[in-house]
Amino acid sequence: MSDDIFITEERIEGAEDGPLAGKTVAVKDNISTDGVRTTCGSRMLEDYVPPYDATVVSRLKAAGATIVGKANMDEFGMGTTTETSYFGETDNPAAPGHVPGGSSGGSAAAVAAGEADLALGSDTGGSVRCPAAFCGVVGIKPTYGLVSRYGLIAYGNSLEQIGPFGETVEDAAQLLDVIAGSDDRDATTRSEGDDSSYADAATGDVDGLSIGVPTELLEGADEGVVETFWEALGELEDRGAEYHEVSLPSVEHAVEAYYVIAMSEASSNLARFDGVRYGHSGGYDGNWNETFARAREEGFGDEVKRRILLGTYALSAGYHDKYYKKAQDARAWVKQDFDEALSEADVLASPTMPVPPFELGESLNDPLQLYLADANTVPVNLADLPAISVPAGETDGLPVGLQLVGPAFGEERLIRAASALA
Amino acid sequence: MTAQTAQQGDLVTVIGLEVHVQLETDTKIFCGCSTEPSDEPNDNVCPVCLGLPGALPVLNEGAVEAAVKIGKAIDADIPEETRFHRKNYYYPDLPKNFQITQYDEPICQDGTLEIAVEGERRTVAIERAHLEEDPGSLQHVGGGGGIDSAEYTLVDYNRAGTPLMEIVTAPDFRSPSEVRAFLAELEEVLEYLGVFDAERDGSLRIDANLSIIPEAEIDGDDTDEIGMDALEAANRTEVKNISSHKGAEKALAYEETRQKNAIQRGRAVEQETRHWDESRGITVSMRSKEEEKDYRYFEEADLPPLRVSGWKDEIAIPELPAARRERFQAEYGLSEEAASKLTSTKQVADFYEDVAGEFDPDLAATWVADNLLGELNYRDIEITEIEGRLEEIKRLVELVADDEITAKNARETVLRSMLDDGRMPDEVVKEDGLGKTGEDEVEQAVVEAIDENPDAVGDYENGDDGAINFLVGQVMQKTGGSADPGDVNQLLRRELEG
């Protein structure tokens, strides 16, 4: 079973004591581990062994955790199913024959299968929340700046955060406590998480909680998913929460804006993979320009190439204003919409994914359809906000996740609310 | 008549510069690696400056401080906050295949620098100056020796991440000599600010754009501004690989002649990039670029905008060369030429003020500007290299000021011996017997000379005035040449007639 969950199965022991002593953690394979290869699910980095630890890995070790392996993922985080991994697909332990979601599919599957107590993933447009929802576990996407990205191999660096998985909200929160907090090596981190006690917030107390439901995020969603979502909200209502509809008109443009920004950043972030210092080089002689091109042609998979090309296009002279700048404007608008909606509610709730997990192989040939499946998760990254996906129930035996979104650095509020469900 | 067919006499040279200056900080601009040059390649490197996957830049505020100093010195606008962009292009010396630089919010905008060209003051507009990271360096081995023709190429990332300031001027120069004067002044200012080390290899790199346009296209008014249309119309060449102000003058003089000759012969000047070959003294066409480069600039999200609104007031800069030159003339009564020499570097000016504070300013000027700098220049030594011996030089000036040694001996014997043999001034004076002889000693010698030479005394008394010269010679011999012959002459006459 574990063969397809990890790209590299290797134990890294942490300190003897600490808050995570005795806990096992799966680490997504785009998070650098000193001396243990870190592939990003790509042929490009098949043999790349980092000479340093990501800040979150140092913190895991200091907290006494045992890392059990580097988890499978969509290549460079680009996917919603973990099927774009060069190392093959990962089955969904909660729904065999189905995808585990992506891009952090291996991390979510490791927790769902009991291969690890906890896991780390990264979330650029839903890559923690989607697999959490599909595998029936809990996943948190922290506020941008709460967790250090030092050592996280970048895909869309203005959007992404490393986030924890656990079987329960409390488990995930405990891991968040360890990894959150400012880091001198990441200038975008903030101090809000320095003295956190997220695990203590997992009380399940939702009495008086006001939940806003953005109507736009239910439109077009699968019926069974919507039904499961309302049942979960009903459960929260029974415990003293109230809910009402709110509107996020801008989210209609969020998927387009997200992909333009993420691909533009990716085209630049992935430029360093030229085979000179590390990674696949092909060993070609001759003109350096052609050598770089051949190394990249061989090293990258189709989805990665598609996104690099589209991102390069969006940033090019003559198109920059039409795409990149317009996407930035849309991003500002999405932020503003969330601010307004969160002034009318404590948290916002929606299905995490508008659909249940796809069957393995089902969606590979329709990238656009897959991009649209991110409709509920990407707006949160555009707005830099925190969100959590918690199991809401099942539809036809397939897991459904409920997403709660809170104000910036409102992780405690999300953890308190979500812990009423898991 | 187009620029291409104009007569040479109607043509004007227009030059604009992009000057890359390495800022002298202890550590690199985005990581903690040392900026000290190393003999070992890839020695001062870490995940950040190697561009390893997952590494992130963190801004060295020391580099920003240096940039703000430059901004103050050139009287530039410094924005409320400054941010960084990515300039995307592939090149083997660029670890991330993008360069972190500044785009639409540079740290300095709209500055000026005043220069003197052949006694005439000119103000050069500086459009912008921005911070960026230096790439690594390439060493092409074997084959044709070029990046496309070598057998292989070695990459050294020691330089990668060294803070650079790119200073962009308006097309304000009309001659290569103006460019040289500007660069010399700029270098002086940067050294005064303590943000630049001229001795470091590659610390100054210049790209120059040169166009030849018809004189009629220069606006008729006093502003001397170029008609931008004419500038656009004229094909310009960008000359790269210039690394000193002297080199800039030579390279641009060559390029100016080359273009004027082409126009005179009715040949078109290609719009191209040319490489200055210092050893051959010519510019060479580089392989022309296939197309206009598109760097796809966009914001560097890994570096949050930095608020610098208060920095201009908080950061102090020293008195700059131009102001110091004027003060030296007013305060010490120096000529413009002497003041210029004495402010050529901050160390020289500081030493002059030190000496002038204790001794006569004119004497100090002669000693620092003429004697000391002259001898140092002859030996190709910088004043910074004898920093520890400046007190000894001062002692030498004191010996002259106190009349204990003649100026000639001080300059020609003591100073040279100090520089060549590392001796102390008092030691040279004593061991070489250069001390000016005391009056008592001279008088004693006069008495002795009269006693020992009765014949000469007799001749003098009998009216042979020439005999006095013999006696002067005797006294000089006794005093080892250190007495003043005129003084001796008078003393002898007084003694013989008294």
Region B340-361: mean pLDDT is: 92
Structural domains in chain A plus CATH codes: 2-250+333-418 (3.90.1300.10)
Query: By mean pLDDT, which of A91-100, A298-307, B331-340 is the weakest?
Result: B331-340
Distance from CA of A158 to the nearest CA of B (A): 5
Do residues B403 and B424 touch, judged by C-beta distance below 8 A?
A: no
* A103 a catalytic residue: yes
Size of interface A-B (CB pairs under 8 A): 100
Flag whether pLDDT at B306 surpasses 90: yes
* A182 a catalytic residue: no
Chain B residues with beta carbon closer than 8 angstroms to that of A312:
296
Distance from CA of B399 to the nearest CA of A (A): 58
CB contact under 8 A, A315 and B97: no
Structural domains in chain B plus CATH codes: 8-310 (no CATH), 321-431 (no CATH), 439-497 (1.10.10.410)
Is residue A314 within a helix (H) or strand (E), and if so which, with residue range?
helix A302-315
Look at phi and psi of residue B231 and say left if phi exceeds 0, alpha if psi is from -120 to 50, else beta: alpha
Give the confidence band of B494 by pLDDT, cuts at 50, 70, 90.
Answer: confident
pTM of the model: 0.88
**Phi, psi angles (nearest 5°) of residue A383:** -95, 5
Q: List strands edge to edge, sheet with B98-101.
A: B98-101, B85-88, B298-299
A341-366 per-position pLDDT tens digit: 999 999 999 999 999 999 999 887 78
Geometric angle at alpha carbon B98, from B92 and B100, rounded to 5°: 125
Region A209-223: mean pLDDT is: 96
CA distances from A284 to A274, A298, A368, B122 (A): 12, 12, 35, 54
Q: What is the dihedral of CA B329, B334, B335, B341, to 10 degrees?
A: -90
**Phi, psi angles (nearest 5°) of residue B167:** -105, 120
- Give the distance from CA A365 to its chain's centroid: 22
Q: What's the pLDDT score for residue B4?
A: 44
Chain A residues with beta carbon closer than 8 angstroms to that of B299:
158
* A316 a catalytic residue: no
ipTM of the complex: 0.96
Chain B residues with beta carbon closer than 8 angstroms to that of A150:
54-56
Flag whether pLDDT at B258 surpasses 70: yes
Query: By mean pLDDT, which of A45-59, A138-152, B159-173, B370-384 is the weakest?
Result: B370-384
Give the confidence band of B476 by pLDDT, cuts at 50, 70, 90.
Answer: confident
Q: Which two tokens stand for residue B250?
A: 């030579």
Q: Among candidates B346, B350, B21, which has minimal Cα distance to B191?
A: B346
Point out which residues pair with A337 in neighbouring strands.
none
CB contact under 8 A, A149 and B56: yes
A306-339 per-position pLDDT tens digit: 999 999 999 998 899 999 999 999 999 999 999 9
Do residues B311 and B276 touch, judged by C-beta distance below 8 A?
A: no
Higher pLDDT, A247 or B153: A247
Give the confidence band of A3 by pLDDT, cuts at 50, 70, 90.
Answer: low
Give me the percent of chain B exceeding a pLDDT of 70.
93
Region B323-348: mean pLDDT is: 92
DSSP for A361-413 reads TSSTT-HHHHHHTTTTTHHHHHTT--EEEEEEEEETTEEEEEEEE-STT-HHH
Q: List strands edge to edge, sheet with B108-117.
A: B108-117, B120-133, B163-169, B11-22, B204-214, B237-242, B272-277, B282-285
CB contact under 8 A, B55 and A184: no
Give the confidence band of B483 by pLDDT, cuts at 50, 70, 90.
Answer: confident
Region A230-256: mean pLDDT is: 97
